[in-house]
Structure 1
Amino acid sequence: MSEKAPIPTVEATESALKLISIIKEKYGPELIFHQSGGCCDGSAPMCFEKSDFIIGNSDMLLGDLAGVPFYINQDQGERWGHTHLIIDAIPGNGGMFSLDNGTGQRFLTRSEVCALPQR
């Protein structure tokens, strides 16, 4: 029997939480995050109004950041299974499709590899 791959975990830094708050003030609370898999804006975490992004059958929920659900594509989540994702906000230009664009800050994914289980 094959073991199911672990899924990554996710958390936000204080800087990211502040940026999420700014975005909520402008767009309201109905937001989602999706971890980009390398298309368009590289591998940036993207923040959208919930009505502007369709979560597909191949997306998995990792958790939430300040009440905002955070998704990743299942294939990517399985590849990053032993990774703890830390969503940060740094000075710069946000992703062209992400709501952080135009704020003077952008979301950034940092990661820590968790210990792999011994076999």
Structure 2
Amino acid sequence: MNPKISRLSATEQALDVIRKLEDQYGALMFYQAGGCCEGTQPQCFEKGGFFPRMNDAMIGTINGHEFWIDRDLFEYWKYSHFTLDVTDGFGPGGFSLETPLKKTFRINYRLFSPEEYENLEPVQRSE
């Protein structure tokens, strides 16, 4: 039996920023919305600092921190692998915890192959 394919990964640069945020804030969570104001960049909050809407999708964890996606955005991107990355700059809204570090999380996407898509880890839905 083949191991399940993860929908999510992170670059070393993103993991470095996450470790700094863990030291300062403790447990974290990520949320990627599909709205106009926050754009579609992932935002990082203290765990419990944001409440996913009904039927939003948790596609995996990064360093043990849940990564949630807006339910409509997930339907659009469900055929894609998400790689969390970070870049210098000030993201939309400025509510994400990495903002004071003058960093912005971003996602790089790639489509799953048909074989990968058939063997993906399941998503968890909020109730």
* TM-score for the superposition, normalised by structure 1: 0.82
Q: Is the 8 A contact 2:33 2:73 kept in 1?
A: no
1:44-73 Cα distance to aligned partner (Å, 9 max, x none): 110011232112222111000011100112
Matched, 1:49 2:49: no
Q: Which residue pairs with 1:12 in the alignment?
A: 10
Which residues of 2 match residues 16-95 of structure 1 at below 5 A?
Answer: 16-29=14-27, 31-95=28-92
Give the AA of the match of 2:70.
Answer: N
Q: Percent identity over the alignment?
A: 35
Q: Which moved more, 1:12-21 or 1:86-95?
A: 86-95
Q: Which moved more, 1:43-52 or 1:33-42?
A: 33-42
Please give the root-mean-square deviation of Cα atoms over the aligned residues, in Å: 1.7
What is the CA-CA distance between 1:115 and the residue it aligns to? 2.8
Q: Is the 8 A contact 1:62 1:71 kept in 2?
A: yes
Give the AA of the match of 1:80.
Answer: W
Q: Where has structure 1 moved over 4 Å in runs of 4 or more?
A: none
For structure 1, which runs of at least 5 residues remain unmatched after alignment? 1-7
For structure 2, which runs of at least 5 residues remain unmatched after alignment? 1-5, 116-127
